[in-house]
Amino acid sequence: MASSSLSLVLLLCLAAAASAQLSTTFYDSSCPKALSTIKDAVTAAVNKENRMGASLLRLHFHDCFVQGCDASVLLSGNEQNAFPNVKSLRGFEVIDSIKAKLETLCKQTVSCADILSVAARDSVVALGGPTWTVGLGRRDSTTANEALANSALPAPSSDIVNLTDAFGPKGFSLTDIVALSGAHTIGQAQCQNFRDRLYNETNINSGLATSLKANCPRATGSGDNNLAPLDPTTPYSFDNVYYTNLKSQKGLLHSDQVLYAGGSGAADNIVSNFASNPAAFSSAFASAMVKMANLSPLTGSQGQVRLSCSKVN
């Protein structure tokens, strides 16, 4: 009797431990084509429009930083209206179409949160970047939190202390922050997010500033949504050129350029290492993405597997 109740307790402990963890083989029997379906759709979307790879990577980041990687960012309204997201996040229709395909293959099996996490990885790979293994078994939230999105997502006017305040409590080191910022080796930003940098800052390459000003006028309200590549040198190659840009004062956002202060900054050595050693960047980026993808997932019987990513069941 004592020994059977002990094994029951042991069993419950094991079950709890298993449910709190993601597994790389989660869909192997329940939906064996899940990973290849996502990869094929992401590759096609990125081939059609390179920027989509950037947009899908950013969606995963903005999901995970707000109540964990639970697809809360995909619920209509809510977080989508937060300042860092509104008229900025994109890629929802690609995720919706992957979800629709997976629903026909394996009904209510693959979560939207897992689709986002795998799509982010496949996007980076499609643009020539490193790969990593994505743990699976996340479940989808039934709630989203706009106020939390506003406070948890870092603003482009952030300095290093602001970045450390945003990333540190979630378990990211300064090396992780510098590596993750390397995501800005792809994708675009709107004039309103780099205007102050063009007109108020002196640590910007003058040739770059001149060319960007042509499409981003000083006056607020004019050209606010005009786009420029975050990496002006190789905009759609997932490489380490972001860091050589920083060393020549070609970071687009204030929050990018603060990572390199010309030799005296806290992150300067990390930037220099990633600029001269592409393999060091690749491995630091991959391990920081694994950390990001593991931020407080819902598992076991928590949350739900949504039927449609934009609304709760």
* Positions marked active-site: 62
Give the binding range for ligand NAG (CB under 6 A) out of 42-50, 55-63, 192-200, 238-246.
192-200
Nearer to ligand HEM, 41 or 186 (CB): 186
For the chain, the C-alpha Rg in angstroms (whole number) is 21
Q: What is the DSSP letter of 32?
A: T
Kindly state whether residue 139 participates in binding ligand HEM, applying the rule CB under 6 A. Answer: no
Kindly state whether residue 278 participates in binding ligand HEM, applying the rule CB under 6 A. Answer: no
> Least distance in Å: CB of 251 to ligand NAG?
16
Does the annotation place 165 within a ligand binding site?
Answer: no
Kindly state whether residue 244 participates in binding ligand HEM, applying the rule CB under 6 A. Answer: no
Q: 37 near 102, Cβ under 8 Å?
A: yes
- DSSP 3-state percent helix, strand, coil across the chain (nearest 5): 55, 5, 40
Half-sphere exposure of 120 (CA within 13 A, CB side): 28
* 148 CB neighbour count, 10 Å cutoff: 16
> Least distance in Å: CB of 101 to ligand HEM?
22
Coil, helix or strand at residue 304: strand
Q: Which helix (H) or strand (E) holds 188?
A: strand 188-190
Q: Which helix (H) or strand (E) holds 227?
A: strand 227-229
Does the annotation place 42 within a ligand binding site?
Answer: no
Nearer to ligand NAG, 128 or 217 (CB): 217
Bridge partner list, 311? 308
Kindly state whether residue 155 participates in binding ligand NAG, applying the rule CB under 6 A. Answer: yes
Chain residues that interact with ligand HEM, rule: CB under 6 A? 51, 54-55, 57-58, 61, 88, 90, 154-156, 158, 163, 180-181, 183-184, 186-190, 193, 230, 253, 255
Chain residues that interact with ligand NAG, rule: CB under 6 A? 155, 157-158, 161-162, 196, 199-200, 218
